[in-house]
Structure 1
Amino acid sequence: MPDLSTRAPQLVQRRPTPQLVGISLAYFMVLLDTTVLAVAEPDIMSSLHTDVVGVGWATTIYTMALASALVFGGSLVDRCGAYGVFIIGVIGFGLASLGCSLAPTLAVLLGYRALLGLFAAAIIPSSLSLIASLYPDPARRGGAISAWAAISGVAMAAGPVLGGWLIAVDDWRAVFVINAPMALAVLALCRTTIASSRHARAVSWLPHIALAATLATATLAITQAGQRSWLLAAVCGLVAVGLGYGTTAVDYSSPAPLVPAALRRNRAVWTAFGWGAAVNYALTTVIFSIPLLLNTTAVGAGATLLPMTLLVAVNPLLTGRIVAARGPLRPIRMGFIVFPVGLCLVAVAIADHHQSVVLALGLLLCGLGVSWTLPALVGFAVSHADPEATGSVGGILNATRQVGATIAAAVASALLTHSHDDTVAFVPFLIAGSICVLSLTTAATHRVARARKPAASGASATDHPA
């Protein structure tokens, strides 16, 4: 691709607004795909003759691919230029979505879902880089990034409702068909080349492949345990441990490691990564499990999730003010206080014949938990990272969040295989609540003074990809 850096000022002055809309629409498309599938789960089970474990794999294979390739996608953006990576990601995402809509079997659906995750990993880092190129002025760039990040909340709120409506009009395949016209709209809005810088950065496939293999075998171990195939579960678990150790060793010796050397021994940053995984674990548990457990339509399932998803859309604005005034640790603690309470209320409602008022209150508190913690996490991590490693923090944090989502879907699908037994149906929520309590313990013991560094005030813009 030719270097068009000399055209950058001209492009910025001419038409940045339509391009920003296109970039944000691409981000919306990627994030919508993480939530819209939830309400389609019962319909997929019926259409493709699969079970809870099958639809669990339809969720986890997407998040596994996304988690494994996010950092690699950032490396490609640096090396090849953001615009080319972005366009390829959008085209691939649209085509893979059509492949999902035409999938005749679960195996074909899983293959296309993996491709969706890979193309999503190209879109997320390239879109942020393109905004930086379009808006070189820091003041205007901050507003553009805030608008881009706010799209995630809209996608979270719209996903279950839009998915329910599409399924009511047609069937589960419609939730994938809708991505094709959105991809075409993105390509039309971003048809003018956006200049972006390139860097001679090394790219290494091996750590990313090793990470994907580790996540896949760990997920298989969890699902086999849920099906009570204990021997196979134990073997897969041991293989996953070995692959995890191998991934770490490969990453240490890689010329382009997943984790930069400056972050490897940074306990505070790794604590933030753990918190991100915990939040996505709890969030995915709710989004994945509720449509499977409620005896209602796809539209009804989407409406049931609204108390949580609406708060995730609007409350980050308040969280940003709290971060600016008090630092990022305050809302993180607040979130980990209310999240386990909400999860326990959801568990009570599920165990006691789906009490609608208790369920709505629980989901409301879960929404507060997500919207208080996630927007503050990047600020906390960046404020504790060495300056030369801050660029890696967002990518690794989003990758660890997807790891949490992958494990959550695997655990929930394994447990809900026996959802006819009311003593099991509420267990996924209690597990998620326990993880949030553990996170609260680490947040409560962290020193406030270290969390209030100047970089914290810019927290909320970059970390909201679901």
Structure 2
Amino acid sequence: MPEVSANPARRHQRRPTPQLLGISLAYFMVLLDTTALAVAEPSVMTSLHTDVVGVGWATTIYTMALASALVFGGSLADRLGAYGVFVVGVFGFGAASLGCALAPALSVLLAMRALLGLFAAAIIPSSLSLIASLYPDPGRRGNAISAWAAISGIAMAAGPVLGGWLIAVDDWRAVFVINAPMALIVLALCRTSITSTRDARALSWLPHLGLAATLATATLAITQAGQGSWLMAAVYALIAVGLAYGTAVVDRTSPAPLVAVALRGNRPVWTAFGWGAAVNYALTTVIFSIPLLLHTSAEAAGATLLPMTLLIAVNPLLTGRIVAAHGPLRPIRMGFLAFLIGLCLVGAATAVQHQPVILALGLLLSGLGVSWTLPALVGFAVNHAAAEARGSVGGILNATRQVGATIAAAVASAILTQHHSSTTAALPFLIAAAVCALGLLTATTQRVARVHAPSRGLVRRARHHPDRAHRH
């Protein structure tokens, strides 16, 4: 009898493993779509008879939809149940990917890319909720979330290489076709329903629509400026400011606001959100611009990005040790400094032809910049949020990161539509370097390291070692 009772326990411990694999594969699929598409940009331009602005919109419309719907996707998962939202998101992502692959024109591709962003916004927050339900034990849950998060690094490293290989075998459409079988595998691995708690919270569409309209209009303003239409750029910019103000007003009175009340006056958390947007701005600038400037094959472009993407995959483990030893601010400062230098080197390498060593060194430093800053700033934000608002931090942080990515692709596409002089080629990277310099400045002057509701002993220690207070 003891053996009979032990076996079910072991089986129960192993049972979530296929489902965790499926949930992680769904996250991989979402992230792969972004990085693999970068090396497909020249192929898309040739096939659909479009220009840099067109492929820029193919990137920005996805990140706009994702940024606008991420928080709403989390609320929807809490209200309707994470499993149902996850399944719909995966199925829809696979179907919309096939729609992208079959797109006969740029307009159809843009519509399908917008749907991809919406379905991705359903997958990401529901994935975390399902992991929490599968692993109620905090220790095992932490390991499961670490495995889920590690997939992002693998997707970042594999995306450009896999995308380049797929394009060499067929063309850019293969980048989207591969998502359909992956979606079917995810649905097969997660075919057993996962029970999760439901919260009958209110839902409000208006703030999310306002955010989407603001991002779309701001992108139009940047695009018009890049094309020299300064009057229209100014008009769109004013409309974007008005929409942003209106969205903020509506959000404050919404029954389901984008920003939790407990976070509205929290300056350290909003600083971390700004850091996240800055990092994604710089990262997207590199991933979007390099394939367009190299004038080489998709395979070669993917291989060129490897020094950066591989470090993003493996270096967060070292970042965790630095955070544990010195607190989050040190790796954040190190990361912004590395990114600043790396972007300047990348700009120099693209401005002067045939500088592969300088380019590789710049991409290497950029990879260090991403892998040092992102894990640390997540911990910084969570540590400075009140307990009741920590669930909102992840959603807003991901949304602000996508906002940074949206603006970066719009700015880079607007600049690169101009004649490719040496100055024009370097300009997107120099602007991103300036953004990182601002991030470094704010991280250097940042002195707030207070954790909400700390113990008295922790307060005393924080007075002497503010960076280390979070470790306890």
TM-score band by shorter chain is: over 0.9
Are the counterparts in 1 of residues 327 and 469 from structure 2 also a CA contact under 8 Å? Answer: no
Are the counterparts in 2 of residues 282 and 432 from structure 1 also a CA contact under 8 Å? Answer: yes
Are the counterparts in 2 of residues 319 and 376 from structure 1 also a CA contact under 8 Å? Answer: yes
Amino acid at match of 1:38: A
Q: Deviations over 1:415-446 (max 9, x none)?
A: 00014222211100000000100110110011
Aligned partners of 2:444, 2:52: CA distance in 1, in Å? 37
Aligned partners of 1:78, 1:366: CA distance in 2, in Å? 36
Structure 2 counterpart of 1:302: 302
Deviation, structure 1 residue 97: 0.1
Name whichever of 413-422 and 289-298 sits farther off.
413-422
Structure 2 counterpart of 1:41: 41
Query: Matched residue of 2:450: which SS?
Result: helix
Deviation, structure 1 residue 102: 0.1
Structure 2 counterpart of 1:203: 203
Pairs within 5 Å for 1:43-192: 43-192=43-192
Give the direction of change, closer, same or farther, for the CA distance of 1:298–1:455 in structure 2 (3 Å limit): farther
Structure 2 counterpart of 1:408: 408
Amino acid at match of 2:46: S
Aligned partners of 1:366, 1:449: CA distance in 2, in Å? 26
**What is the TM-score with the length of structure 1 in the denominator?**
0.95
Deviation, structure 1 residue 454: 8.5
Aligned partners of 1:260, 1:138: CA distance in 2, in Å? 25
Structure 2 counterpart of 1:316: 316
Aligned partners of 2:116, 2:238: CA distance in 1, in Å? 29
Structure 2 counterpart of 1:267: 267
Aligned partners of 1:142, 1:454: CA distance in 2, in Å? 21
Structure 2 counterpart of 1:283: 283
Amino acid at match of 1:244: A
Deviation, structure 1 residue 213: 0.1
Aligned partners of 1:411, 1:272: CA distance in 2, in Å? 22
Give the direction of change, closer, same or farther, for the CA distance of 1:295–1:256 in structure 2 (3 Å limit): same
Structure 2 counterpart of 1:349: 349
Deviation, structure 1 residue 38: 0.3
Q: Deviations over 1:11-68 (max 9, x none)?
A: 9546100000000000000011111100000000000000000000000000000000
Are the counterparts in 2 of residues 293 and 419 from structure 1 also a CA contact under 8 Å? Answer: no
Amino acid at match of 1:221: A
Pairs within 5 Å for 1:191-230: 191-230=191-230
Aligned partners of 2:18, 2:301: CA distance in 1, in Å? 34
Aligned partners of 2:11, 2:225: CA distance in 1, in Å? 55
Give the direction of change, closer, same or farther, for the CA distance of 1:456–1:91 in structure 2 (3 Å limit): farther
Amino acid at match of 1:321: R
Pairs within 5 Å for 1:436-455: 436-447=436-447, 449-450=449-450
Are the counterparts in 1 of residues 36 and 175 from structure 2 also a CA contact under 8 Å? Answer: yes
Amino acid at match of 2:359: L
**What is the TM-score with the length of structure 2 in the denominator?**
0.93
Structure 2 counterpart of 1:339: 339
Query: Matched residue of 2:40: which SS?
Result: helix
Name whichever of 71-80 and 447-456 sits farther off.
447-456
Give the direction of change, closer, same or farther, for the CA distance of 1:240–1:75 in structure 2 (3 Å limit): same
Aligned partners of 1:358, 1:419: CA distance in 2, in Å? 23
Are the counterparts in 1 of residues 328 and 467 from structure 2 also a CA contact under 8 Å? Answer: no
Amino acid at match of 2:399: A
Aligned partners of 1:108, 1:59: CA distance in 2, in Å? 14
Give the direction of change, closer, same or farther, for the CA distance of 1:232–1:213 in structure 2 (3 Å limit): same
Structure 2 counterpart of 1:3: none
Amino acid at match of 2:44: I
Q: Deviations over 1:237-290 (max 9, x none)?
A: 110000000010010010000001111111100000000000000000000000
Amino acid at match of 1:436: C
Are the counterparts in 2 of residues 251 and 258 from structure 1 also a CA contact under 8 Å? Answer: yes
Amino acid at match of 1:313: A
Aligned partners of 1:181, 1:109: CA distance in 2, in Å? 20
Deviation, structure 1 residue 377: 1.3
Q: Deviations over 1:386-411 (max 9, x none)?
A: 11111100100000000000000000
For the aligned residue pairs, the C-alpha RMSD in angstroms reads: 1.5
Query: Matched residue of 1:450: which SS?
Result: coil
Give the direction of change, closer, same or farther, for the CA distance of 1:33–1:132 in structure 2 (3 Å limit): same
Q: Deviations over 1:155-200 (max 9, x none)?
A: 0000000000000000000000000000000000000001100011
Amino acid at match of 2:87: I
Q: Deviations over 1:107-156 (max 9, x none)?
A: 00000000000000000000011001000000111000000000000000
Query: Matched residue of 1:69: which SS?
Result: helix
Aligned partners of 1:113, 1:323: CA distance in 2, in Å? 37
Deviation, structure 1 residue 10: 11
Give the direction of change, closer, same or farther, for the CA distance of 1:419–1:367 in structure 2 (3 Å limit): farther
Are the counterparts in 1 of residues 207 and 247 from structure 2 also a CA contact under 8 Å? Answer: yes
Structure 2 counterpart of 1:251: 251
Structure 2 counterpart of 1:20: 20
Structure 2 counterpart of 1:462: none
Aligned partners of 1:180, 1:79: CA distance in 2, in Å? 28
Aligned partners of 1:354, 1:31: CA distance in 2, in Å? 31
Aligned partners of 1:419, 1:87: CA distance in 2, in Å? 46
Q: Deviations over 1:281-330 (max 9, x none)?
A: 00000000000000210000000000000000000010011112211111
Deviation, structure 1 residue 456: 4.4
Amino acid at match of 1:126: S
Aligned partners of 2:449, 2:404: CA distance in 1, in Å? 28
Give the direction of change, closer, same or farther, for the CA distance of 1:95–1:454 in structure 2 (3 Å limit): farther
Aligned partners of 1:430, 1:397: CA distance in 2, in Å? 25
Q: Deviations over 1:326-350 (max 9, x none)?
A: 1111110110111010000000001
| 5+ residue gaps, structure 1 | 1-8, 459-466
Are the counterparts in 2 of residues 219 and 407 from structure 1 also a CA contact under 8 Å? Answer: yes
| 5+ residue gaps, structure 2 | 1-8, 452-465
Larger Rg: 2
Deviation, structure 1 residue 372: 0.1
Structure 2 counterpart of 1:326: 326
Are the counterparts in 2 of residues 11 and 194 from structure 1 also a CA contact under 8 Å? Answer: no
Are the counterparts in 1 of residues 39 and 298 from structure 2 also a CA contact under 8 Å? Answer: yes
Name whichever of 419-428 and 208-217 sits farther off.
419-428
Give the direction of change, closer, same or farther, for the CA distance of 1:455–1:29 in structure 2 (3 Å limit): farther
